[in-house]
């Protein structure tokens, strides 16, 4: 098969992946703390591309990975005392059955045992790595901007807010959470800004994603035409060569 056609097929595959990611971004426009994603491509240096009757510098591309935009989404007020939003860098630390996880989704509630938990029961951790426990029938809960958790005016714990030097190392684990490799460079956010009664909205920009999907669709159609034209040229060449 002509390399031009192979390049076209490879490009179609990456375009389909880009379309899936853009569609997923749009589907998560209203997901708290969601971060927009984009497919990353790299040149396949192991496979050389050539064209006998066209441009000489051709290359195959592969999907290198998925890039995430960790910029902050808008803060939305809810008035609920255990809805928390981080202003600036950092992630909430959660204790789950699968291990420690990190998230920007700050929708928490108080369990029957008095622990601050996510919707599925994952426990919010303090700076010592322990679940935060409050009195279920206790008084007013206050979370200060520095992450200090108070109840009835008495300090109870301080939130563990973790910053990663290279957030691209984080891996999605579902439920809008991430896991970090053991060797990931991390540190505690020294001067956090936590907003009680707020949640962080998704940072997806729907208009941009719709525009990107239209561009992907047009590019896919263009590559399809190129593949069809290459196939037609090859067929005609064979017909002419086969004439007596």
Q: Is the pLDDT of residue 218 over 70?
A: yes
Q: Is the pLDDT of residue 199 over 70?
A: yes
Report the C-alpha gap between 18 and 60 in whole angstroms: 16
Q: Which of 218, 88, 231 is nearest to 162 (CA)?
A: 88
Whether residue 196 is found in the same domain as residue 209: no
Whether residue 151 is found in the same domain as residue 224: no
Residue 56: the pLDDT is 52
Report the C-alpha gap between 56 and 241 in whole angstroms: 25
Report the C-alpha gap between 89 and 162 in whole angstroms: 8
Q: Is the pLDDT of residue 1 over 60?
A: no
Whether residue 120 is found in the same domain as residue 21: no
Residue 67: the pLDDT is 86
H helices present in the chain, as ranges: 3-27, 206-241
User: Which one of 3-7, 12-16, 83-87, 173-177 scores highest in mean pLDDT?
Assistant: 83-87
Report the C-alpha gap between 242 and 8 in whole angstroms: 27
- Residue-wise pLDDT for 100-146, tens only, equals 999 999 999 999 999 999 999 999 999 999 999 999 888 899 999 99
pLDDT band for position 19 (cuts 50, 70, 90): very high
Whether residue 83 is found in the same domain as residue 60: no
Whether residue 135 is found in the same domain as residue 175: yes
Whether residue 216 is found in the same domain as residue 110: no
154: domain range?
76-200
Q: Is the pLDDT of residue 78 over 90?
A: yes
Whether residue 25 is found in the same domain as residue 90: no
Whether residue 68 contacts residue 36, with contact meaning beta carbons closer than 8 Å, is answered with: yes
Whether residue 93 contacts residue 170, with contact meaning beta carbons closer than 8 Å, is answered with: no
The pLDDT mean for the chain works out to 87
When mean pLDDT is compared across 18-32, 46-60, 70-84, the lowest value belongs to 46-60
Per the rule left: phi > 0, alpha: psi between -120 and 50, beta: everything else, 129 is left
Residue 233: the pLDDT is 74
Domain count, the chain: 2
Whether residue 63 contacts residue 17, with contact meaning beta carbons closer than 8 Å, is answered with: yes
- Residue 112, CA distances (Å) to 74, 120, 133, 134, 187 in order: 31, 13, 10, 10, 32
Whether residue 47 is found in the same domain as residue 152: no
Whether residue 39 is found in the same domain as residue 80: no
Report the C-alpha gap between 32 and 118 in whole angstroms: 12
Whether residue 49 is found in the same domain as residue 88: no
Long-range contacts (CB closer than 8 Å, 24 or more residues apart) made by 215-220: 216/15, 216/18, 216/19, 216/22, 217/19, 219/11, 219/15, 220/12, 220/15, 220/16, 220/19
Whether residue 22 is found in the same domain as residue 64: yes
Whether residue 16 is found in the same domain as residue 132: no
- Run of H or E residues at 146: none
Per the rule left: phi > 0, alpha: psi between -120 and 50, beta: everything else, 88 is left
- Residue 126, CA distances (Å) to 65, 147, 158, 159 in order: 32, 9, 5, 4
Mean pLDDT to the nearest integer, 152-167: 93
Q: Is the pLDDT of residue 65 over 70?
A: yes
Per the rule left: phi > 0, alpha: psi between -120 and 50, beta: everything else, 58 is beta
């Amino acid at each position: 098969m002509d390399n031009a056609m192979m390049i076209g097929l490879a490009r179609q595959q990456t375009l389909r992946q880009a379309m899936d990611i853009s569609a997923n971004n749009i589907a998560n426009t209203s997901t708290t703390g969601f971060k927009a994603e984009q497919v990353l491509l790299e040149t396949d240096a192991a496979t050389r591309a050539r064209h006998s009757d066209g441009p000489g510098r051709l290359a195959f591309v592969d999907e290198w990975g998925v890039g995430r935009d960790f910029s902050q989404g808008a803060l939305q007020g809810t008035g609920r005392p255990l809805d928390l939003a981080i202003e600036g860098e950092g992630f909430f630390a959660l204790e789950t059955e699968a291990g420690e996880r990190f998230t920007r989704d700050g929708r928490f509630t108080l369990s029957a045992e008095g622990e601050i938990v996510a919707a599925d029961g994952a426990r919010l951790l303090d700076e010592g790595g322990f679940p935060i426990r409050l009195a279920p029938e206790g008084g007013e809960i206050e979370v200060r901007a520095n992450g200090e958790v108070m109840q009835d005016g008495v300090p109870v714990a301080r939130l563990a807010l973790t910053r990663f030097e290279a957030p691209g190392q984080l891996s999605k684990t579902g439920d809008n959470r991430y896991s970090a490799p053991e060797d990931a460079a991390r540190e505690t956010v020294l001067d956090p800004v936590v907003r009680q009664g707020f949640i962080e909205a998704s940072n997806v920009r729907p208009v941009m994603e719709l525009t990107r999907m239209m561009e992907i669709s047009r590019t896919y159609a263009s590559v399809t035409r190129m593949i069809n034209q290459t196939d037609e040229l090859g067929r005609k060449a064979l017909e002419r060569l086969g004439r007596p």
